[in-house]
A = this chain, B = another copy of it.
Amino acid sequence: MSAPAPFNPADARFAERIRRSFERQKAMALIGAALLQVEAGRVEIGLPFRADLTQQKGYVHGGIIGMIADSAAGYAAYSLMPASASLVTVEYKINILAPALGSLTAIGEVVKPGRTLTVARAEVYAALGKHVATMQQTLMMLPDTPDLPADQ
């Protein structure tokens, strides 16, 4: 049994909304990332290892690590928002803590939800819990803006 969620989502159906949004992220499909767990204020994304995700030394590219961390923390923030809002990444800062080999898991969590700005974090782990990256991120809510391409 896990502890009760510390955050109050504005939309009870946030998990379904996030799953649909994630499916529209073609860049996540390109790298083979999968949405694992979705809770209020906490989202997990998995990335199975593939050789075409690596940099010149054979480790997973730092930018790829940034992609799953950015999405995990962003969706953690998005889980608390009203259904009518969308969200943009304002900025993030990521430390690469160790060379990333093998499959990865990114865990995003909200640090401080806000009316306009939300601050979130993500931790990225490789096999056996090896900590490979830590990220701090700022997101901005756009009220009454659909989470869809502008022409839809």
Task: Report A88-136 residues with CB < 8 Å from chain B CB.
Answer: 88-99, 111-112, 116-117, 119, 121, 131, 134, 136
Interface size range on A against B = 35 or more
* C-alpha gap A149/B134 in the complex (Å): 24
Contacts of A69 in B (CB 8 A): 63
Whether the Cβ atoms of B66 and A53 lie closer than 8 Å is: no
Q: How far is the CA of A64 from the CA of B26 in the complex (A)?
A: 11
Contact of A150 with B by CB under 8 A: yes
Majority DSSP secondary structure for residues of A touching B: mixed
Known: A27-B61, A52-B29. A88 touches B95 (CB 8 A): no
Q: Which residues of A from 51 to 70 have beta carbons under 8 Å from B?
A: 51-58, 60-64, 66-70
How far does the Cβ of A130 sit from chain B's closest Cβ, in whole Å? 10
- Identify the stretch in A7-15, A17-25, A36-44 within 8 Å (CB) of chain B at 4 or more residues: A17-25
Give A133's nearest chain B residue, CB to CB: B91
Contacting A94 at CB < 8 Å: which of B25, B92, B97, B131?
B92
Supposing A58-B149, A61-B25, A140-B117 touch, asked if A96 and B91 sit within 8 A by C-beta, the answer is: yes
Most buried by B among A52, A54, A62, A117: A62
- Is A3 an interface residue, CB under 8 A from the partner? no
Interface string of A130-151 (1 = CB under 8 A from B): 0100101010100000011111
Chain B nearest CB: distance from A8 CB in Å?
Answer: 16
In the complex, chain B residues whose CB is within 8 Å of the CB of A134: 111-112, 119, 121, 136
